[in-house]
Structure 1
Amino acid sequence: MKLIFATLFLFVQSLAFSAGSSSSIDANKEYLKAEKLIKSYEFEKAIKALNKLLTETPDGYTKADLYNYLGYATRKQQKPNFEKAEKYYLKALKINDQHIGALEYLGELYYETDRLEEAFELLDRLESAAGKDSEEYLELFEILNS
């Protein structure tokens, strides 16, 4: 009888463990790798890495962070896709309407696509979210006033 309970216990434990780990990748490690690719201007590789992470449970980052970086890499790649980048930024902001990275980068996209009114609206939102002294606010302010 004890053997049956022990076997059942081990079986249930293994099910619980496998349910909690949907894949074998280290999501945080992969996110940091994608971040490094972006910083080294390897945008196409970063996009592939970030897309893989969309199905993972965030670890050390948020889904909004993923969509923000997808937007950034899509906008900065050799052949920018502004429409797709905008959709990624908007997804990030739908998850977190105060995401300062997405607010700044979407403002830059609006500037790059001659949508200045929308860019200045995002500057106002960025001021509310992060303040006038934040790096993100100052960078977007400089771009819009150059």
Structure 2
Amino acid sequence: MPHILSYVLIGLFGLLAMALDPAQAAGSEPTADSDPAYTEAKAKIAAADYAGALPLLDQLTTDQPDNADAWNLRGFANRKLGNMDVAAVSYSTALKLNPGHLGALEYQGEMYLQLGQSDAAKANLQTLQGLCGNCEEANDLAEAIAEKS
């Protein structure tokens, strides 16, 4: 009987950990990395082929409109290509789906810096620090802000 209780507790802690994991927050697509189109789009972005990634990301956001990760990458690729209006809409959509999306908050903050909106970038940094402390996304945005100052 004590073994059954152990298994039940382990299962409950596992569920709790999943519920608290920001990557699994509402609006995030927990299986995004298993989608071949998403994986291909990420590879193209890693290779700085932003124009090549866009058709994949456009299709993903059409097919999976609740996929915050795809919207975030769509924003990133568009920002890198100078399509700031499309990037802004994509980041806003990602954050509407998942207000705690660390990548979207960082990249949107970087977009704000490019647009000369340092106060908005600093607000994103404060949000990031509140969500994750000194995580990679917060540190990267803080560094970008410091470089612009």
What is the identity, as a one-letter code, of the residue corresponding to 1:98? Answer: G
Q: How many residues align structurally? A: 114
**1:37 alignment counterpart:** 44
Is 2:148 aligned against 1:141? no
Is 2:72 aligned against 1:68? yes
**2:108 alignment counterpart:** 106
What is the CA-CA distance between 1:57 and the residue it aligns to? Answer: 4.7
Larger RCO, structure (CA 8 Å, separation 6 or more):
2
**2:53 alignment counterpart:** 46
1:51-89 CA distance string (max 9 Å, x none): 11123359xxx6110110000000012xx1111101100
Q: Choose 1 or 2 for highest CA Rg.
A: 1
Identical aligned residues as a percent: 34
What is the identity, as a one-letter code, of the residue corresponding to 1:55? Answer: T
User: Which one has a larger percent helix, Structure 1 or Structure 2?
Assistant: 2
State the TM-score, normalizing by the size of structure 1.
0.74
Is 2:56 aligned against 1:56? no
* RMSD of equivalent CA atoms: 1.5
State the TM-score, normalizing by the size of structure 2.
0.73
1:9-32 CA distance string (max 9 Å, x none): xxxxxxxxxxxxxxxxxx701110
CA distance in 2, matches of 1:95, 1:102: 11
What is the identity, as a one-letter code, of the residue corresponding to 2:38? Answer: Y
What is the CA-CA distance between 1:145 and the residue it aligns to? Answer: 1.1
**2:129 alignment counterpart:** 127
CA distance in 1, matches of 2:146, 2:102: 19
1:71-124 CA distance string (max 9 Å, x none): 0000012xx111110110000000000000000000000011100111000000
